[in-house]
Amino acid sequence: MTRTPRRGLVVLLLAVVAVAGYGVYKWQNAGPSPGLQDRRNIVSAIESNPATGNLIRASAVPTVTPATTRSLLQLHAAFRESQRCMEERIIIRGNLWIHSGALPPPHIPGCDDMKGALRREYEATKAAAKSGDIDAQMCYLMQGAGDRESGFALSDAEIAEYQSLAPQYVDTAFKRGDWRVVDLLGFRVIDWAGLFIDLEQWKDPAREYKARQLLLLGAGDVDPQDTDYWLAALRMPESKDNGKLSAQEIHDSDAWVQETYDKYFSSQPRLMKEPRVCTAQDATG
């Protein structure tokens, strides 16, 4: 599946840990799990593009005890503030304002170093995700295990928690017809090397094909001239990517795609642009 250039800045750095997954929407024809990668982390600049779905919707995942937590709106606000902190640290670490002649970004109080920013973002995102914040759940799915340069690293317990929570967030995203999870499942490893790549949903050799075909169904008869560049690129004929799939695998994948679309996505609005997985804006209907 050909990926179009992604908006925003991507800094490669992270560790990939084998993750066991499960779910109602597990891809069929599961193949061998990807091998362990070199310890690298990916930290993405926050992209300002709206995604699909509603701002905050309760999901069927475990929630934290209300007596020990802040309100959902407070958790969501902390999650968004942590994203702004990360954006600031990424810009400062890369001196990204210098070439444009602009000033450094406004300083956020308490956002003083990359390691602290990564810890702050992880904690805030996880807390909001557990409370049922679907935007935070999608961002949590893109979590990495660590950042070599700053020394930030998740503990074994935190990685085990991801192994438990992430498949549930994938499943609930399918149940609500959230196109962002389809886009996430279509990523190549080169696009993203977070903890997500070893979930069960990544073990299918037809994964990218299925994601692309499902997105095509979602776009339907939308005129590419009325959308951004992503749709036109999505509709470009496949050349080499499907050569690794047998005729039976393609047949089975097409059947899965149609069944999944009819059951969970057919009632959703047509896709006019790429459903960005994790952005700095709340999802809008």
Q: How many percent of the chain have pLDDT more than 70?
A: 68
pLDDT above 50 for 54: no
For residue 115, being part of any structural domain is answered with no
For residue 37, being part of any structural domain is answered with yes
Average of per-residue pLDDT across 87-97: 83
Q: What is the 3-state secondary structure (H, E, C) of the chain?
A: CCCCCCCCCEEEEECCCCCCCCCCCCCCCCCCCCCCCCCEEEEECCECCCCCCCCCCCCCCCCCCHHHCCCHHHHHHHHHHHHHHHHHHHHHHCCCCCCCCCCCCCCCCCCCCHHHHHHHHHHHHHHHHHCCCHHHHHHHHCCCCEECCCCEECCHHHHHHHHHHHHHHHHHHHHCCCHHHHHHHCCCCCCCCCHHHHCHHHCCCCHHHHHHHHHHHHHCCCCHHHCCHHHHHHCCCCCCHHHHCCHHHHHHHHHHHHHHHHHHHCCCCCCCCCCCCCECCCCCC
For residue 219, being part of any structural domain is answered with yes
For residue 259, being part of any structural domain is answered with yes
In this prediction, residue 241 carries a pLDDT of 56
Least confident of 34-38, 86-90, 117-121, 232-236: 34-38
For residue 102, being part of any structural domain is answered with no
- The count of domains in the chain is 1
Position with higher pLDDT, 218 vs 192: 218
For residue 120, being part of any structural domain is answered with no
Tokens coding 111: 């956002």
For residue 99, being part of any structural domain is answered with no
Q: How many percent of the chain have pLDDT more than 90?
A: 42
Position with higher pLDDT, 177 vs 95: 177
Residues of the domain holding 14: 10-66+131-265
Position with higher pLDDT, 142 vs 60: 142
For residue 124, being part of any structural domain is answered with no
The whole-model pTM stands at: 0.73
